[in-house]
Structure formats: C-alpha cells, structure tokens
Chain A
C-alpha cells in the first residue's frame, strides 16, 4: 500500500479577475476515499484538476505528504487520473494505451509487460488487450481507463466523473468495482461526481461544494443526518428533503411553536436568537414523514397531487394549504386518492430547522 495524505490550504483559483474557487481548506487522510460532490459549476472538477496539476493554482498551497506541490509538474506528483471521457488513445490498442505512460517513463519492456498484465488481471480485461478502444463497450473502456491509472502505481488516484457516460446498470456495477479496487489497493483516491448516490455509497469522506466553497465535510451518514445548512440537506438524499416555510408563533422556553400554513407545530428544541414572527424553514426527509400519529408530531394537512407506486414504497406528492410542495415516502403499496386531503406527521427526532440564512439550528 502506498497511501498518501493531501492538504489544501486556502486554495484559490482565478480566471483573470473572476475567482471560482474561494480559499478551500481540506485535509485528506492517507488511504481515504474522498468524494467531491456538488451541482454543475460548483468547482469540484476545477479543484480536482488543480490537485492533478492540469490547472495552475492561483493562491494557497497544495500539500502532498506535507510537501508543497503547487509548482511541481503534473507528471511528478505521483498522480493518475481517470477522465470522464476515458481519454483513451483511439489509434492505440488497449495494451498500447496501458503501456504508454510506462514507455514514456522508459520502463524496461519486461516490467511494462508485467505491470500491464497485472492491471489487466485486476480489471479482467486480458482478452481485450489487442483491441482498439472503438471495439470496446462503455464499461470496457472505463476499465481500460482505470487500468491505465493502475499500471503507473501512483500514490493518488483521481476520478473525474468516471461513470457519467455509462448506463444505469453499468454505473452500479462499476461503482462496486471502484470501491473494491480502493479496498484492494488502499491508495488515496479522490472522486468527483454530481451524483449524490455515488457519493453516499462510495465515500469515506464527502466534500460538498457549492459556488467554489466547501459547504460541509464529513462521513456520508454524518452529512445525511446532520447537515450544516439547507444546501447540504437538500443535496444529499433521494428523494430530496422537503422544505416548508413557517414563522415563529411563540417562544416558550425549550418548546417554541411555529406556524406552518395555519398549523401550529411544537418544536422540541429552543430557537436561540429568534423572535416571534421570524421566518424559519422546516426540513424533513420524505422517509421521515408519515400519515399516522405513530410517525411523530402532527405537521400539516396536505392535498394529494400524485401517488407513485414503486413496489416496496409509495411516493406521495402533495401540497400544503399555502401551496408548498411535499414528498412523502410511505412503506408498502398504499392506495390514496389523488385530490384527497391527508394529515402528515414528522419524526420529531429527525426533522431539521433552518434559519433565514439557511444555517441549521441545533
């Protein structure tokens, strides 16, 4: 195992006068599988490319094993990268693609052969070595792209949305294979995706990015259970968290009440710094809501707009009296008439409250 730590200290990226990465601080432990996740344009790929050495760093420091790497060429950083497009050389065979980097580094032929065969064995692509990339399926191309990274035996693997060109079934399969690869090799890996399911299932550590800043860093379940703000709460989880606006109705010590569309909801936590009439946002995941009292605290009466039957789950799409949309995930196959009004309940231990600036109130 050749695990390596990575540190980002106040890292900034500017294109001319436009700053797109605003002072990122991050520590990645040796052998950690870290996922950068966020919406399109949040800067996750730019950050990855800066670590790879494909984009110059405008400010701050990139440390690899505590050594400053800002000015070290990409090829000297001990990094291998798997691109979204696979970036396979179309005129070379699979073998030549795998061997290119080693030939460039003037490895002896015998070692090149041995490394290529080893990588091909790990990824089960031995029968494909003589083929050209155009003769491969999407999944096979992806394996070759990963193989090209493996043969170099790098300190760090970088993946830039490597599964986004694959169909749903293959994505799941490759997701498992990459996770297994990490387990087997033990290298430090950084994986960029906009797919929160990939982030939740693969990561040791998730870094949620938005508009060039880190919104939150943590283990997947930590982010799921304790989002620091409304952005993280909404980004992680599928279907996404419900947000319902309300106003503070009373501040009775440890049990204030909030008016949600005419229904008074009693909170089980204080609202420090809030006054009567202040706006708050409730956040409740669809799987933490229900239509019976045993689901928790009475929340709001809603009108059913649509029911989706997923077999093991029924997805209820509804709206409050104020027109705010709600999604509720109910276990089993539930028959509920569209247009009917139902009362919703939320799990008091699992809802979230956000202030006007989107910060979670704990």
Chain B
C-alpha cells in the first residue's frame, strides 16, 4: 500500500461529520427552549425592547405622529434648567417618599409587634391588616379616599361631631399631599407581614436571656429586637422607597390626573404621564423615566453602601 493510498483512506476520518453548535444545543436543550419561548418573546418584546427604545427616544423629540428627531441631550438639559414642573414634581415625590416610607414602616412594625405576641385569632387579624395592601393601589380605593377626604366627606363629618370644621383636605394644597401620604401609610400590610416573619425568626432564648438580665421591654426592643430586625428593615425600606417613587394611581385619581391643587400632588410619575399621554412629548417623557431610574438606582446604591454600618447579619 502506498503512502498516497493511506492518505486517501485516512481522509474520511479526518473529515468526520461533527454536529453543528445549533444542532447540539437543540438536541440537548431544544424542548426546554421551546417551552421558554413565550417568556423570551415577552421579555424581549415587552421589556428589553421598550427599555432600549425609550433610551433612544430620550434623545429625541417624538410626538407619535411624526418621525423622531434627534436632539442629543436637550431633553435632559431642559429638565434641569428650564422646567419648573420637573422640579415641583421631584419635590412632591421626595416629600411623599421621605414621609410616607418611614411612617409606613413604623406603623407596619408596630402592628407586627402587636401581632407577634401570640394573640388568639392571629391569622384573622393578619388578613384584615393585609387587606388594604391588596386594595390600596386600586382605582376604587383612590376614589373612596377622595370621598373620605372631600370637603363634605366622612372625615369632616366625624370632626364635626367634636365641633371641628375641617378643610377640604384634597382641595387644599397644604393638606392634599398628606392625604396621599395617609393613604400610603394605610397600605402597611405588605411590610407588616415581612416584619412579622422577621420577628418570628428572632430566637426566644435571646429575649429570655435579656429578661433574666432585667432588661425592660423598651430596652429589649432597642437593643435586641430592632438590631436583629435590621435586615428586614433594610429590605422593606428599599422596596417601599422604590414603590414610593413609582407611586401613580392615587395621585392620578384624587387630582383627576392634573396633580392639582397648585401642583401639590404632581407626583413625578404623574408628570411623566402628562408629558407622554397628554402632551405627546414621548422623547421628553422617556428622558424623565430614565432620570427616575437613575435616582432610584443612586438611592438604592447608597443604601447598600451604608447598610454595612447599621444592618446586622447573623453570618
């Protein structure tokens, strides 16, 4: 046998049929990807696509009817230099977050501490207290809230029993935001449930050791309960702050979509909505959305950075 013939025989082995990457992937995971396809369509079509598009639109003027016009950073520049409503909406939103989040967390923790005392009928109370959280973001509750705090609403009827003439809470720029803060605090159920779960995780031995040491309930709360609950406080604070920045429905319903009186309930998201769907300034609205994302990201990042100084993890 010649060398040539050996080479000719060897050739078929050298060019053995190797399955393509795609066919290997398909044979191994194909059915799995097929089942994931609806999620991929939703993720790329309804999440990633709009995110990328809105980022692009934030650098354009776009009114839905004419083609988008590239304007560079003009939208962002306008926001910080020539738009008093942006500043007002930011102020209202920050006030809302600064007051509603701590109040809601304090309220939620107080109720959780009460419920954690092993009272009878606990599941019923828990469900009752959680109910507002399920209903709170709905249009119906916002409408109800509007009725409660109107000039001739139930709140003023109640105050009238004591001879107090209450204002029209939602029509008064000095009190309108506080009605929305009250509504947010009323929705304390979700953080309360999480606090309750956190309280259940604290070993009873620690309380017993503290009581043997003669610690009062107040001291036990500040020195044992609260420090051990800080991971839960941190989680709730982050979630509720993000929720606060995103808050939209109550302000929209109570102010009739205007943010009035005197822009006192002009939440950031409401202003964004107005720019997008009332004035059809989609480019500017997109820029507003990205600034909100940046603010929330900065807040969350700072919170995580500072957490090492006040959040106590067991391990």
Contact = CB atoms under 8 A, between A and B. Distances in A.
B212 interface: yes
Contacts of B206: 87, 89
B214 A134 contact: no
A90 interface: yes
Interface residues of A, number: 24
A148 B315 CA distance: 22
Contacts of B315: 134
A31 B215 CA distance: 27
B213 A54 contact: no
A101 B219 CA distance: 11
Interface in A79-100: 79-81, 83-85, 87, 89-91, 100
Interface residues of B, number: 19
A24 interface: no
A192 to B, nearest CB: 14
A105 interface: yes
A74 interface: yes
B90 interface: no
B228 A75 contact: no
A101 B215 CA distance: 8
A53 B208 CA distance: 10
Looking at chain B's contact residues, the main secondary structure is helix
Interface of B: 203, 205-206, 208-215, 219, 223-224, 227-228, 312, 314-315
Q: Quick one: which of A76, A91, A152 has the most chain B CB within 10 A?
A: A91
Contacts of A152: 213
B16 to A, nearest CB: 57
Contacts of B203: 85, 87
Contacts of A76: 214
A241 interface: no
Closest 5 CB pairs of A and B: A75-B214, A101-B213, A91-B312, A87-B205, A87-B209
Given A85-B203, A87-B205, A91-B228, A100 B213 contact: yes
Nearest to A96: B223
B87 to A, nearest CB: 41
A80 B205 CA distance: 13
A76 B312 CA distance: 31
Contact of A134 (B205, B208, B219, B314): B314
A85 to B, nearest CB: 5
A83 B227 contact: no
Interface string A207-247: 00000000000000000000000000000000000000000
Nearest to A133: B314
Contacts of A189: none
A52 interface: yes
A105 B214 contact: yes
A335 interface: no
A90 B230 CA distance: 12
A100 B223 contact: yes
Q: Quick one: which of A73, A81, A87, A101 has the most chain B CB within 10 A?
A: A87
A104 interface: yes
A90 B312 contact: yes
Contacts of A74: 211-212
Contact of B224 (A79, A89, A105, A148): A89
Contacts of A89: 206, 209, 223-224, 227
A81 B312 contact: no
A91 B227 contact: yes
B123 to A, nearest CB: 20
Given A83-B209, A87-B203, 11 more contacts: A52-B212, A54-B208, A73-B214, A74-B211, A74-B212, A81-B208, A83-B208, A87-B206, A87-B209, A90-B312, A134-B315
B208 A87 contact: yes
Contacts of B227: 89, 91
A104 B205 contact: no
A77 B312 CA distance: 32
A80 B208 CA distance: 11
Contacts of B205: 83-85, 87
Contacts of B213: 75, 100-101, 104-105, 152
Nearest to A79: B212
Contact of B212 (A54, A84, A134): A54
A309 to B, nearest CB: 42
B219 A104 contact: yes
